[in-house]
Each structure stands twice: as structure tokens, then as C-alpha cells.
Structure 1
Amino acid sequence: MTVLAVGVGPARAAATTASALTAAALAGAPYSLVVSAGIAGGFQPGAPLGSLVVADEITAADLGAETPAGFVPVTELGFGTVSHRPPDSLVREIAAATGAAIGTVLTVSTVTGTAERAAELRRRHPRALAEAMEGFGVAEAAAAHGVPVVELRAVSNPVGPRDRAAWRIGDALAALAEGFGKIRPLLESWKPV
């Protein structure tokens, strides 16, 4: 198992992940799974502070165009994709082992800081449980290499108005570490079907 700090944001995460996947493939030891993990904002009440979320869909929430009629994702513009789906069986196994909620994890380039933006994201993505900044970039790199991806997030703060005093980063990191302790054997033995 290799652990990499890929940086903040989807572009940096994609570049770092793609570099690692390419190097492993060229060395004759390609990876069979990529895990994007970290802390996230949680949509309340579905993802309370300190809880874990495992993505059954990794979605770029703000990849598209603003129009007079509202936001249009790039898929509706005829370009690329905005979502990746992790292996369903692995998602269910991770949720069972950790108690993580299963739902969409949104990737954003700008963290939500208002109630209005949070409500708009929930309207467009009703199954969203969390938002973070790296998952879609990691998933794009994994897809380019034909490698399955899964995203696990620990909730450090609610999505919406920014109140740094209410953030629980330490609690979220502790929950993430505990979750990984429970799923490490599962990840190491998992094989694509």
C-alpha cells in the first residue's frame, strides 16, 4: 500500500495521481485500486461531524457553464464526464466495515461558504452527502489508467456558512484513521471483478 499526499484541488490531485500511476505502470507494478481519502464538509443532517462517507458516485459539482437558465454540466454541453462510479461491491464492504454513509461526494474547486450555495448544490445533487476538493481529479487520473477508484471522507465541518470555530478537523482525522484501520485488509485483498 502506498500513501501519497496529492495536494489541494482537483488539478493537483489529478496530476499527482496520474504521475504515480504512470510510474508504477512503467516499473511493471501497476496499482489495482486507487483510494481518495481525506476530510470533507458534510451536508446536514445526512453526514454529521465526525462521520464517514464513502462515495458511490464521485461528481465534479462545478465543471460546466453558468447560463441564464442556470448551471449546465459539461456532459450536457457535449464534453467529457462529471461523474465516476466506484465499484459497488467495494463501496458496500467499506460501508459495512466502517459504518460510513453511502452517497455522492461532490468535488468543488471553491469550498461552499454560504447557505445559498449549499442549497443550490443539494438541489442539483440531492444524493450528495459531502463536498471536498480532490476526488474527481483522482478519479479522472484513475480512469485514464483503467484503475478502479473509491473515495472515503471524514466530515470535519458542515457544508454552508464558514465557521472555522465549529470545524472538527482533529475529530475527522481520527475517524478517518480509525476507518482505515478497519478497511486496510479489505483494500489490500480487493481484486477487480
Structure 2
Amino acid sequence: MRLLVATAVPPERDAVARAFGAPDTPEETALPGAVLLRTPGADVLAAGVGPAAAASATSAALTAARLAGNPYDLVVSAGIGGGFAERAPVGAVVVADRIVAADLGAETPDGFVPVTGLGFGTDVHVPPAALVEAAREAGLVPGAVLTVSTVTGSAGRAAELLARHPSAVAEAMEGFGVAEAAAAHGVPVLEIRAVSNAIGPRDRDAWRIPAALTALTSAFVRLAPAEAGSPFALARARLVP
């Protein structure tokens, strides 16, 4: 299975690459605005922060692979993120059963209206259920993962997001952009996030970034498609008619 993993920043990229046995000096391929690392089990990209950068770099990687006659079978948006504490505490790893653009829309006198309510596009991508279930069986916490352009920093905003998205387990900044690029290329998408902090009042001293990066590596070791019997490989087989 040809796998592309899109992260935001190099520390996340490197955490994923370690799970796939990346050599000390991995092969690099330059793309517009990003560099792709090739490992034995996946190609891993630091696509940039936010949905626009993530969509642009992911689309560039997908286009390059298709033009080379070796397209990807699956795209995974991965990295660290905030978790809703009662559902995904610090140290947990979540898998999106819905990838939601949580702040793409309009504020109105009656409250927030998502972009679909305005009559445009979509605000949700749904990963294949077989992949989500494979990740759940490997110990990941399933639920909606919210893509936001402004990270939540107050209890009020956290409560507002949960009221609008009752199944949410985490938030991050790139998943929806990666999903938009994957959808445009007709490739299945998944999102995996290791929780580094609780969503709510911003407290940098409480963040556990190194531990979250270690958890991210461990999650991909469990899921690694380089092994014939791995959860991703088996799940991908279920998707083939």
C-alpha cells in the first residue's frame, strides 16, 4: 500500500518517519513549498501549519505521485493536537471518524452557520469506516477531529465547539485541508492525532509535546502498513472490492 502522511511541522514528520524505520539520512524529494521524506513504509511530508498550507503541499505530493505513475492509496493527516479532556486526555491518540472544518462558515445573530449551511462546498470529510475501526482496534480513540484556524484558548470556546460537535475528541489545524486535497484526487483519507494538551484555557506549561510525539510514533508502529498483517494493510484490503 502506497501511503502518504502529511504533518504540519518537521518534529511531527520525524516522529512519524521513525515509526517506518527511516534511515538517519532519508531520501528527500523537493515539492513546491515542502520536502517529502521517503521511508521504507511511507512518504512523510511536513506540509505547513493550517488548512491552506496543508492542502497545497498535500495536493502537490499527490499530483507528483500520479504523474510519476505511482499514485498513493491512502493519505493520513497526522501530528499532535488538543484533546477534549474527558474523551481524549493528554497522551491519548485519536483517530477521526469525521474530519470537520469547525470554523469555516459565518457568524449570524442566531449563531454559527457552517459553510454548507451557506450553500457552499462541504465542511465534513468521512474517512473509510474500515480504517477507523482498524485504528480503534489498535487502541486509538475514535471521534470527530475538528480543524480550526484559531486554536481554542478559553473554556467558553471549548464548550461552544462541543455543543456544535458533540462527538468531537480533538482539534488541530490541518486535517480538513489534507482531506480536501485527498478528496480532489479520489484518495481515501484518515486523521490521527496524539494529544499534547487539553482544549480550554491556554496553558503552555501544561503542554506535553515530547510525550505526544512519542505517542504518535508508537501509534504508527502499531498501524504500520509495511507489515502484511498490520491493521492498515488489513483495513485497506477490506476497501478493495
TM-score computed with the length of structure 1 as normaliser:
0.97
Aligned match of 1:8 in 43, 49, 59?
A: 49
AA of the residue aligned to 1:119: A
CA distance in 2, matches of 1:13, 1:168: 23
Quote the residue 1:48 is aligned against. 89
State the distance in 2 between where 1:106 and 1:74 align: 14
| Whole-Å separation in 2 of the counterparts to 1:89 and 1:38 | 21
- Describe the superposition over 1:18-67 as per-residue Cα deviations: whole angstroms up to 9, x where unpaired: 00001100111110100111001001210000001000000000000000
One-letter code of the match for 2:192?
A: L
From 135, 147, 152, give the equivalent of 1:107: 147
Task: Determine helix, strand or coil for the equivalent of 1:3.
Answer: strand
1:95 Cα deviation from its structure 2 partner? 1.4
CA-to-aligned-CA distance 1:107-127 (integer Å, 9 cap, x gap): 000000010000000000000
Aligned residues: 192
Distance in 1 separating the partners of 2:91 and 2:211:
6
Find out whether 1:116 has 2:156 as its counterpart. Answer: yes
2:196 maps to 1:160: no
Residue 94 of structure 1, CA deviation:
1.1
Q: 1:61-109 deviations in whole A, cap 9, x for unaligned?
A: 0000000111000101110000000010111111111x11100000000
- Tell me the equivalent position of 1:39: 80
Cα distance change, pair 113–70 in 1 and its aligned pair in 2 (3 A): same
SS of 1:48's partner is: coil
Q: Give the letter aligned to residue 108 of structure 2.
A: T
Provide structure 1 residue ranges, at least 5 long, that are not aligned to the other structure. Answer: none
From 69, 74, 78, the equivalent of 1:28 is 69
SS of the aligned residue for 2:160 comes to helix
Cα RMSD after superposing both structures: 1.0
Q: Which structure's relative contact order is higher, taking Cα pairs within 8 Å and 6+ residues apart?
A: 1
Q: Provide the TM-score with structure 2 as the length reference.
A: 0.78
Q: Which runs of 5+ in 2 are unaligned?
A: 1-41
The aligned residue for residue 127 of structure 2 is 86
Return the letter of the residue paired with 1:141: A
Q: C-alpha distance in 2, partners of 1:51/1:90? A: 18
Q: 1:65 aligns with which of 99, 106, 124?
A: 106
Residue 188 (structure 1) shift? 5.1
The superposition leaves residues 140-183 of structure 1 with CA deviations (integer Å, 9 ceiling, x where unpaired) of 00000000000000000001110000000111111110010010
User: 4+ residue runs of structure 1 moved beyond 3 angstroms?
Assistant: 186-189
Out of 220, 234, 237, the residue aligned to residue 180 of structure 1 is 220
- Structure 1 match to 2:209: 169
